[in-house]
A and B are shown apart, each in its own frame.
Chain A
Amino acid sequence: MISYVNQRLNHDPRIQEIFKNHGYDFQNLDQSRLQFDPGTSSVYNRCGLNTLPLQNGIKHLSGFSMPAYDERFSQSWSEITDQRCHELRKNHFHKPWMIAWSGGIDSTTIVTSILKNLPSADLHNITIACDRFSVWENPKFFRDFVQPNFQILNSKSLLDIRTLEKFTVIDGEPADQLFAGGISLPMMLSHGLDFLEKDIVKDADLLIDYIAQTARKSNGELPGKTFAQWYYTSLIENIRSVDIPVNTFHDFMWWSYFNFSWTSVKMRGLEVGDFSKISNAQIYMDNFVHWFDSDAYQLWAMTNNIRDQKYGSTIGHHKIAAKRYIFEFDKNHYNLKYKTKLFSGNYKWLQPNTWYCMTDDFTLLNLDDHWPIIRDLLPGHLCPTYKHNTSIVTP
């Protein structure tokens, strides 16, 4: 069975033909994929009623699943981050670590946690992969903490099979999915904090207008209100089917990231690295560790959709819990106050002749070599609860 599709390659006419033959609207899928975030290759539902066109075949796997909501969860960001370091030290230190450091808030949290929690002898087993842009993004942290403590490798073209054989690669995903990524920031900047805290049901029209004006089609055009209405309604139906509080525009943006793009962000390394020679993704699943992918981080994200944890009165408060964690270590007031999200991913996506989908034993199939298998299996991956033409849910 197909468990995951690299939806960026859905433009292939053969795939579109299958969608069309089964009455599935490709446009909604494509535009959902591009919803606010061109860095996301695919959209897959993880929890609740699946209103998207495809079924998520890997949501049950460790690292891809969503833990049950627990309103009593009370661990702080700092406690979870310290704990995550010890947990990874215990379970993944049999191979040297390679930390992908972009200089941004997420990967700087990782390096901070390592320096804070591991003895200096352990640092010999850790390499930092970065480039000149990483240094540019956080020059003082590089000078004061990265350069004196770690071996450094240029990260250009490092993500390949040899790297995974030699290292456990650790990156700063899926932190954006915990915090609503870069999608709540433009909303905050253009409409202010009050807008971010508006009610998703009472102020539905405002939110639909915002989606219609903000999301972009792959050709850069605005998708218009029809798509915005479909997207809003689909997400509201999904939200109503779960017992997780999603009330404000901020929460709506967060949930769309947390529920719909978590899966593909976890698969992104496989889509941007040089893995053309592998036919099975098992080595990637075993050796690529996403620091922020843990049940504790997810539970924190579900219970902290509040000011002063994820956002605040200025865009400098975005990811403030993580920024405070770093500040307690590096004492950089400027980063605490001013550092905002930069899109560190300047991704070079796979070309159409590389893998299109993954089966449930992690076999990777490509459109040219495995077309007959894909043609037979893809209809089984379509989601029966998808409604491409939903009407607006009225309050």
Chain B
Amino acid sequence: MFVFYSPHHVPLNKFMKVPFDFGYPINFGDPHFALYQPVNDCFMLTVCDQSHARKIKLLASARYSLFVVDLTTAENYVANLVDNVCCHNWTLSNKSHIGIGTANIPQIIASQSLIETLTTESNIESEKQYLQTVWHCIKYLEEVELRANKHIHDWIDEVLDANIYDPDYQQIKNFMKKIMNALYLSDDLEHLQSEIHQIQFQLEKLLLPR
């Protein structure tokens, strides 16, 4: 059986306590987004994939509002200026355009200029770790979807009334939902990571080639 592994796949046994991705583009001209938090007035995470940015924004929304900012439009943008080591010390110049009341709208804010700032929030590191965990799980779940042939299941559901129940796939979906639920509603990072480990263990058993 063919099993797909993406080039950036992190094997299960290497699931780090605190996964870390620098979040800057490898190739010149690639997309580069930041997630801006208005109360802290800084970027909390940078990513290179718009759909990842949107998913992280949704999953973190039980904690705080995040706004997806396109970094590449800034007049002083260079690819290695802002990454996940230092993003909390950067903000954008045109934040008055960020509607407080529009956190639910999936808009992308085009940054005009990137500005250095001094963030003194004590919990910034743990929140960055939480967001890295969320991002890591999003990538992991995308890979699970590929390994479970989600696209085939979706296609059959959308196009045909085949009415064939697949208990294994349903279980995989349930485990994926449990991971999303934990990421969305958990307050404690250590507890979250341990919970996800346990779910992953069961999920991986289901995904093993038979």
Q: Do A and B come from one complex?
A: yes
Residues on A facing B (Cβ under 8 Å): 133, 136-137, 139-140, 143, 182, 185-186, 189-191, 314-316, 333-334, 337-343
Chain B interface, DSSP helix/strand/loop, else mixed = loop
Across the interface, do A133 and B62 meet the contact criterion of CB distance under 8 Å? no
Contact B62 A334 (CB under 8 A): yes
- Chain B residues bordering chain A, tally (CB within 8 A): 22
Task: From the candidates A137, A189, A333, A341, name the one contacting B98 in the complex (CB within 8 A).
Answer: A189
B61 in contact with A136 (CB, 8 Å): yes
Over the window 38-63 of chain B, the binary record of Cβ atoms lying under 8 Å from chain A Cβ atoms (1 yes, 0 no) is 11110000000000000000000111
Residues of B within 8 A of A182 (CB): 100-101
What residues of chain A lie closer than 8 Å to B100, measured between beta carbons? 182, 185-186, 189, 315, 340-342
Q: What is the minimal beta-carbon distance from B109 to any residue of chain A, in angstroms?
A: 13
- Contact flags (1/0) for B69-106 with A, using CB distance below 8 Å? 00000000000000000000000000110111111100
Given A140-B185, A186-B100, A342-B100, A314-B39 contact (CB < 8 Å)? yes
| Interface check B113, CB cutoff 8 A | no
Q: In the complex, which of the residues A133, A316, A343 contacts B101, with contact meaning CB atoms closer than 8 Å?
A: A343
Chain A residues, CB < 8 A from B102: 343
CB-based contact B101/A136 at 8 Å: no
In the assembled complex, B15 has its CB within 8 A of some CB on chain A: no
Chain B positions within 8 Å of A, measured between CB atoms, are 37-41, 61-65, 95-96, 98-104, 184-185, 187
A316 near B185: Cβ-Cβ < 8 Å: no
CA distance A334 to B184 in the complex (A): 13
Q: Which of A137, A338, A342 contacts B39 (CB 8 A)?
A: A338
Q: Are A133 and B104 closer than 8 Å at their CB atoms? A: yes
Pick from B39, B61, B103, B187: contact of A316, CB below 8 A: B39
Residues of B within 8 A of A343 (CB): 101-102
Contacts of A342 in B (CB 8 A): 100-101, 103-104
Bound: A185/B103 CA distance, A: 14
Interface pair A186/B96, CB less than 8 Å apart: yes
* A interface, over-half SS: helix
Contact of A340 with B95 in the complex, beta carbons under 8 Å? no
User: A140 contacts B62, CB within 8 Å?
Assistant: yes
The 7 A-B residue pairs with the shortest CB-CB distance, nearest first, are A190-B96, A343-B101, A338-B64, A316-B39, A334-B63, A139-B62, A185-B100
Bound CA span A338–B41, Å: 11
Contact partners of A316 in chain B: CB under 8 A: 39
Closest-by-CB residue of A relative to B95 is A189
With contacts A137-B104, A342-B100, A342-B103 known, what are 14 further pairs, Cβ within 8 A? Answer: A133-B104, A186-B100, A189-B95, A190-B96, A315-B38, A337-B39, A338-B39, A338-B63, A338-B64, A340-B100, A340-B103, A342-B101, A342-B104, A343-B101
- Smallest Cβ distance from A216 to chain B, in angstroms? 12
- Residues in chain A near residue B99, CB distance under 8 A: 186
Tell me which of B96, B98, B184 has the highest count of chain A C-beta atoms within 10 A of its own C-beta: B96
Q: Point out the residues of chain A lying under 8 angstroms from B96, CB to CB.
A: 186, 189-191
Chain B residue with Cβ nearest A139: B62
- Nearest neighbor of B41 in chain A, beta-carbon distance: A314
Q: What are 9 A-B contacts with C-beta separation under 8 Å? A: A139-B62, A186-B96, A186-B100, A314-B40, A339-B64, A340-B65, A340-B103, A341-B101, A343-B102
Docked CA distance A342–B98 (Å):
12
Q: Is the CB of A334 within 8 A of B64?
A: yes
A84 to B113, CA, bound (A): 48
What's the minimum C-beta distance from B106 to chain A, rounded to whole angstroms? 12
List chain A residues, Cβ under 8 A from B63. Answer: 334, 338
* Contact residues in A for B64 (Cβ distance below 8 Å): 334, 337-339
Residues A139 and B103 in contact in the complex (CB < 8 Å), given A190-B95, A315-B39, A338-B64: no
Asked if B62 and A340 make an inter-chain contact with CB atoms under 8 angstroms apart, the answer reads no
A133 to B63, CA, bound (A): 15
CB of B26 to closest CB in A, whole Å: 32
Q: Are B39 and A139 in contact, CB atoms less than 8 angstroms apart?
A: no
**A143 — which chain B residues lie within 8 A by C-beta?**
185
CB distance from B77 to the nearest CB of A (A): 22
Q: What chain B residues lie within 8 Å of A314 (beta carbons)?
A: 39-41
Are A189 and B38 interface neighbours, CB within 8 A? yes
Q: How far is the CB of A308 from chain B (nearest CB, A)?
A: 16
In the assembled complex, which residues on chain A have CB atoms less than 8 Å from the CB atom of B65? Answer: 338, 340
B42 to chain A, nearest CB (A): 11
Q: Which residues of B contact A315 (CB under 8 A)?
A: 38-39, 100
**Which of B39, B104, B184 lies at the interface centre, i.e. has the most chain A CB atoms within 10 A of its CB?**
B39
Q: Which residues of A contact B184 (CB under 8 A)?
A: 139
Q: How far is the CA of A314 from the CA of B120 in the complex (A)?
A: 13
A139's contact among B37, B95, B101, B185, by CB below 8 Å, is which?
A: B185
Chain A residues whose C-beta falls within 8 Å of the C-beta of B185 in the assembled complex = 139-140, 143
> In the assembled complex, how far is the CB of residue A241 from the closest CB belonging to chain B, in whole angstroms?
32
Closest to A192 in B: B41
Q: How many angstroms between the C-alpha atoms of A143 and B103 in the bound complex?
A: 21
A143 to B182, CA, bound (A): 13
Within the complex, the shortest CB–CB distance from A81 to chain B, in Å, comes to: 23
CA distance A170 to B5 in the complex (A): 54
